[in-house]
Amino acid sequence: MYSSFNNWVRLQLNTKASNLMDQYRVFGNPIAQSKSPFIHQQFALQTKQSLNYQSELVELGKFDVAIKSLIATEGKGANVTAPFKEQAFALCDELSERAKLAGAVNTLTFSEGIIYGDTTDGIGLVTDLLNHKVQLRNSRILLLGAGGAAKGVVQSLLEQSPKSLTIANRTLSKAQAIIQHYPDNTISALTFADTEHLTFDVIINATSVGLSGASLPIANQTIKSSVACYDMVYGREQTDFLKQAKNLGVAQVIDGLGMLVGQAAASFQIWTGINPDVDPVLAALRAQLT
Ligand code: ATR
């Protein structure tokens, strides 16, 4: 049964003659810092696509309105960032399997009266790790955090057939709730303290700790045991977690800029069918950061 919102969308998408440039948006709050418009404009130039991609600040509680107005004005798709990923999920008529598992979407596609939802964060993360030659198959992976950022990447990590995927979180119940969705005995949930005497090959920070200035309660010996540490956060300065890992001699410390470009590339491919080259765009963004 469709809601009146979905009926409205179907009517708009079925009756519109497309003679303007395809419109794309990234919706969030805040959004001013978003690099997505730059990334998608670069992808469009590189692949000779004619599209207009802009960021749009959406007032809390007005997400439906923003989607409606985009669809009414030649909107073909949108990226969605915090705090609207769950609301976007709820608006979709159809969802990818990985979006269903994540319970959130970052990519909406408007086509033939239908809103399709997908999540590309996991692809972005895995692609970036593999681009850095980090081995995931048969590896013991520790994922720190159990919020939206962590949820969005679990399925993609499991698809790489790790030996184990351990989700550690300050609030254990949230990590336990995630693993219930995966009938896979390689996945488990722990507290940070539980990880103290364990060793891992790859440690991925999906908490918001890098943003808040607090430090992660992960033992030095646990960090030291890994060959790669990844932080989904990026910035001009290396995060405290990556600095700590580097000081402890971890061979590879990687920030989340490549994940950002990778998730954008996967969205771009969903919309246009073209897989853009991430390397020049990543290099340009890296240069802007330094
Ligand atoms: P996001 O969508 O970015 O993942 P979120 O859903 O608010 O944001 O999740 C934030 C994550 O960072 C959670 O795993 C949170 O732990 P809790 O589930 O226990 O709240 C984690 N986090 C935030 N601040 C933290 C801190 N100071 N120490 C440890 N973990 C923290």
Are residues 206 and 153 in contact, defined by beta-carbon separation less than 8 angstroms?
A: yes
Are residues 64 and 5 in contact, defined by beta-carbon separation less than 8 angstroms?
A: yes
Active-site residue, from 35, 76, 85, 151: 85
Select from 85, 170, 218, 231 the residue to mutate for testing ligand 1; criterion: most ligand atoms less than 8 Å from CB.
170
Higher-pLDDT residue of 210 and 48 is 48
**Does residue 49 belong to any structural domain of this protein?**
yes
**Does residue 272 belong to any structural domain of this protein?**
no
Identify the pLDDT of residue 9.
Answer: 67
Number of domains in the chain: 2
Q: Which amino acid is at 285?
A: L
Residue 29 C-alpha from the chain's centroid = 16
As a whole number of angstroms, the distance between CA 41 and CA 45 comes to 6
What's the half-sphere exposure (Cβ side, CA atoms, 13 Å) at 282? 20
**Does residue 277 belong to any structural domain of this protein?**
no
Q: Is 247 found in the same domain as 133?
A: yes
DSSP H helix total and E strand total for the chain:
13, 12
Q: What is the pLDDT of residues 206-261, one digit of tens each?
A: 998 876 667 788 999 999 999 999 999 999 999 999 999 999 999 999 999 999 99
As a whole number of angstroms, the distance between CA 271 and CA 274 comes to 8
Percent of the chain with pLDDT over 70: 93
User: Beta strand pairing status for 228-231 and 94-95?
Assistant: unpaired
**Does residue 96 belong to any structural domain of this protein?**
yes
What's the half-sphere exposure (Cβ side, CA atoms, 13 Å) at 255? 17
| pLDDT band per the 50, 70, 90 thresholds, residue 17 | very low
**Which single residue is written with the structure tokens 């081995």?**
135
What pTM, to 2 d.p., does this model score? 0.92
The two tokens of residue 129 are 């790790």
Q: Ligand 1 centre from 207 Cα, in Å? A: 5
Q: Is 169 found in the same domain as 71?
A: no
- Can you give the CATH number for the domain in which 7 is found? 3.40.50.10860
Nearest to 145 by CA among 174, 122, 121, 184: 174
Which atom number of ligand 1 is nearest to the Cα of residue 145? 14
**Does residue 274 belong to any structural domain of this protein?**
no
Q: Is 153 found in the same domain as 109?
A: no
**Triad 243, 265, 137: Cα angle to 5°:** 60
Domain that residue 65 falls in: 3-119
Q: Is 139 found in the same domain as 250?
A: yes
Which atom number of ligand 1 is nearest to the Cα of residue 192? 29
Identify the pLDDT of residue 16.
Answer: 52
Question: Residues 59-69: what's their mean pLDDT?
Answer: 96
Q: Is 18 found in the same domain as 106?
A: yes
Neighbours of 111 (CB within 10 A): 12
The question of whether 85 is a catalytic residue gets the answer: yes
Are residues 83 and 137 in contact, defined by beta-carbon separation less than 8 angstroms?
A: no
- Can you give the CATH number for the domain in which 168 is found? 3.40.50.720
Q: Is 236 found in the same domain as 139?
A: yes
Which atom number of ligand 1 is nearest to the Cα of residue 151? 4
Position 77 pLDDT exceeds 80 = yes
* Last-in-domain residue among 119, 149, 175: 119
Q: Which amino acid is at 93?
A: D
Q: Is 106 found in the same domain as 127?
A: no
Q: Is 109 found in the same domain as 147?
A: no
Q: Is 153 found in the same domain as 103?
A: no
Q: What is the pLDDT of residues 157-215, one digit of tens each?
A: 999 999 999 999 999 999 999 999 998 889 999 999 999 999 999 999 999 887 666 77
Query: Which residue owns the Cα nearest ligand 1 atom 24?
Result: 209
* Last-in-domain residue among 119, 153, 172: 119
Residue 276 has what DSSP assignment? -
Q: Is 137 found in the same domain as 102?
A: no
- Dihedral angle, C-alpha 188, 189, 194, 200, nearest 10 °: 50
Residue 151 backbone phi and psi in degrees, to 5:
-55, -40
The two tokens of residue 168 are 């550690």
Q: Is 138 found in the same domain as 82?
A: no
Q: Is 80 found in the same domain as 28?
A: yes
**Does residue 271 belong to any structural domain of this protein?**
no
Nearest to 102 by CA among 181, 23, 175, 30: 181
**Does residue 276 belong to any structural domain of this protein?**
no
**Does residue 289 belong to any structural domain of this protein?**
no
Q: What is the pLDDT of residues 95-134, one digit of tens each?
A: 999 999 999 999 999 998 899 999 999 999 999 999 999 9
Identify the pLDDT of residue 86.
Answer: 93
